Amino acid sequence: MFAILLSTCVLITELMADPTPSAGLPPYEYVEIWNAAGHPVDLADWTLQCGRSGFTFGPCVMAPRAYLILCSETAAPWLAPFGPVHALWKSATQLTNDGQTVVLRDAGGVLQSSVSYDLTWYHDTRKKTGGWSLEWSADTAQARVAPGPADAAMWRASADPSGGTPGALNSWQVGTAVAQAALQVEPERFSPDGDGVSDEVTVHYVLPEADSRVDLVVFDRYGAPVRRLARDVMALREGAFVWDGCDGRGRTVPSGIYVIWFRTWHPSSGQTAVIRKPVAVSR
């Protein structure tokens, strides 16, 4: 059951209930919500109920037409590079893998969004065993705010190669074919201090088609571009790029979590994929 009230302005749009084994995202649970209103919404004292556990929002304002990632305190720094984050719970685990009811209410107790999911919602036996989120799969943002009930047919496992799209438009709403590209970042934590040990990170890719084009950009945790490693490059089926931990001006970046953003598309087939991988810079 998925219920939307006519007065709804903030909706649950994605759930990562079983994050392991990871398909590419940080291995943490999250709930994504979306502000459908054309104005900011103050979430202070709103509540999120996950089964029998309830959580109250602290000071938090959502921008209009914006996403917010709800997660644990541990997960927050790892998910922050993908979009605005609000840490609601301490424990790493709050969502049950095989089904649960998640309810969002405003400060006055008015129901905003309620999702009762189960394993059948994945519509893919390969993805219901972990590492893939459940995404609201309406074709347009307008469909999200249509009054009346919707059912499991409106939800499915993410088609994004990373396993989910926290803080971004859901993969089933992109409107283009999704290529089965793969990306691996090694090591996941590196220290560009010139000591000869883990000074660089290597981004390995595998593409579904020859003669595909790629873009590769490093973003910081606030979503600002730090370094562009490739722009509209015609790539081999397999290859790698190296990031030395420097920004576009050659300065070593501060310690923290960064996101490797990789996009590939094929000019003829139109297949497109966007993959995001976190990497940690430490000293």
CATH of the domain at 218: 2.60.40.4070
Indicate the residue among 173, 205, 227 that finishes a domain.
173
pLDDT of residue 3: 36
pLDDT of residue 149: 40
Quick one: 187 and 234 in the same domain?
yes
63 vs 104: CA distance, rounded Å: 17
Of the candidates 168, 144, 13, the residue with the CA atom closest to the CA atom of residue 79: 168
Range of the domain at 43: 2-173
Indicate the residue among 173, 203, 232 that finishes a domain.
173
**Residue the block writes with tokens 């084994």:** 21
Quick one: 89 and 41 in the same domain?
yes
pLDDT of residue 176: 47
Quick one: 39 and 144 in the same domain?
yes
Quick one: 212 and 157 in the same domain?
no
pLDDT of residue 178: 57
What CATH code is carried by the domain that includes residue 73? Answer: 2.60.40.1260
65 vs 67: CA distance, rounded Å: 7
Quick one: 165 and 193 in the same domain?
no
pLDDT of residue 169: 82
Quick one: 18 and 108 in the same domain?
yes
pTM exceeds cut of 0.85: no
Domain count, the chain: 2
Peptide bond just before 21 cis, omega within 30 deg: yes
pLDDT of residue 56: 97
Quick one: 57 and 152 in the same domain?
yes
Quick one: 69 and 162 in the same domain?
yes
Per residue of the chain (283 residues), give pLDDT as tens.
333 333 458 999 999 999 999 888 899 999 999 998 888 999 999 999 999 999 999 999 999 889 999 999 999 989 988 889 999 999 878 999 999 999 999 999 999 999 999 999 999 999 999 999 999 876 444 344 433 344 577 899 998 878 899 988 888 765 445 567 888 999 999 999 999 999 999 999 999 888 888 999 998 877 778 999 998 899 888 999 999 999 999 999 999 999 898 988 887 776 777 888 889 999 7
Indicate the residue among 154, 173, 192 that finishes a domain.
173
Quick one: 87 and 52 in the same domain?
yes
pLDDT of residue 138: 62
pLDDT of residue 168: 85
pLDDT of residue 219: 87
215 vs 227: CA distance, rounded Å: 11
pLDDT of residue 91: 80
Pairs from 190-199 (Cβ < 8 Å, separation ≥ 24) = 190/245, 190/279, 190/280, 190/281, 190/282, 191/281, 191/282, 191/283, 192/244, 192/245, 192/246, 192/252, 192/253, 192/281, 193/252, 193/283, 199/244, 199/245
Quick one: 38 and 146 in the same domain?
yes
Instruction: Assign 56 to helix, strand or coil.
Output: strand
pLDDT of residue 209: 83
Quick one: 54 and 166 in the same domain?
yes
Quick one: 152 and 64 in the same domain?
yes
